[in-house]
Structure 1
Amino acid sequence: MPSIAVCPGSFDPVTHGHIDIITRAASVFDQVIVAVLHNRNKKPLFSVEERIELLKQVTSHLPEVKIDSFNGLLIEYMKENNAKTIIRGLRAVSDFEYEMQAASINKKLGPEIETFFMMTNNNYSYLSSSIVKEVAKYDADVSGLVPEVVAEALKKKFN
């Protein structure tokens, strides 16, 4: 049976840090599903459909990566897709506390599912989608932070 991992997130927008984690996960697992979360608690800049399209474009060179979206509990999505591993990127110690809580509740709800934490490349340890949006809002250069297609999409959103 192929190993299937899910890399969940809002990806609003996808950054080089996200792509780093996705690429590295794709080298370990047979299939990586990048699952865009419909998060009712956030007001996203990009629609789910736009985020999916951007993710498809920036991961098109990775045949083991599939882009999808989901509502509800991650554990239910994992079970529906026969996935046994959750991939989460960690930038700093501050990420760990939240991620540890999430991993603990996921383990309680789905004992057969494991969470793998991957340390983000040091080049991207400061990078978040929120920071990218803040920089882009002021028409500053985000080319080192996101792929070109994402930089163009940000320009369109803020112009």
Structure 2
Amino acid sequence: MSIAVCPGSFDPITLGHVDVVRRALTIFDEVIVGVAQNPGKNYRFAPEERLALAESAIADLPGARVMPVHGLLADFVQDTGASAIVKGLRGAADFDAEQAMALMNRHLSGVETVFIMGDPRLAHVASSLVKDVARHGGYIDDLVPTEVAAALTRKDSDV
């Protein structure tokens, strides 16, 4: 059985993320959506909220599951028995940002990173942009799963 880890902070998970997981499942038997914590980021959603939203977003994808990532991704990948890391790319800027991480993860664990080109129709979708649009009352229902749109609406009404 081939296993891949699709890591990210997923704050929040978007339709672009879900698309990458869906397409990774055509290559791998199982895809673990690894919800990570980056101390350099300010999160809109708490770790348990990001886990729950990711679980809801991939619930209809057989072979996909969500797990929290604690510590180094390279260690997590080895602990899960994954043979690859899967990352979605929207364009050259994403590749430039991901290349050093892919090389470091290979150095630390021997695990390769597989890049999947994002759907061009979703190339403009980024979690940070979705949060900004939602914060200003913009329409996000075609950018994120239904549960995420509702959660962002609740967050913004609490502010």
TM-score strictly above 0.5: yes
Answering whether residue 99 of structure 2 is matched by residue 123 of structure 1, we say: no
Corresponding pairs, count: 157
Which SS does the other structure have where 1:54 is aligned?
helix
Between the aligned partners of 1:94 and 1:39, the Cα distance in structure 2 is 20
Q: Tell me how far 1:139 sits from its aligned partner.
A: 1.0
Query: 2:146 — aligned with what?
Result: 148
Between the aligned partners of 1:19 and 1:62, the Cα distance in structure 2 is 9
Which SS does the other structure have where 1:76 is aligned?
helix
Query: 1:82 — aligned with what?
Result: 81
Query: 2:43 — aligned with what?
Result: 44
Q: How does 1:14-33 map to 2 (within 5 A)?
A: 14-33=13-32
Between the aligned partners of 1:37 and 1:56, the Cα distance in structure 2 is 14
Deviating beyond 3 angstroms after TM superposition, the runs of 4 or more aligned structure 1 residues are none
Which SS does the other structure have where 2:75 is aligned?
helix
Superposed CA RMSD: 0.8
Between the aligned partners of 1:27 and 1:51, the Cα distance in structure 2 is 25
Once the two structures are superposed, residues 38-66 of structure 1 have per-residue CA deviations (whole angstroms, 9 ceiling, x without a partner) of 11111100111111111111111112001
Once the two structures are superposed, residues 74-117 of structure 1 have per-residue CA deviations (whole angstroms, 9 ceiling, x without a partner) of 00001111111000000010111111111111111122x11100
Query: 2:112 — aligned with what?
Result: 114
Once the two structures are superposed, residues 15-56 of structure 1 have per-residue CA deviations (whole angstroms, 9 ceiling, x without a partner) of 110010011111221110000001111110011111111111
Unaligned runs of 5+ in 1: none
Q: TM-score, with normalisation over the residues of structure 1?
A: 0.96
Between the aligned partners of 2:119 and 2:19, the Cα distance in structure 1 is 7
Which SS does the other structure have where 1:150 is aligned?
helix
Between the aligned partners of 1:33 and 1:145, the Cα distance in structure 2 is 22
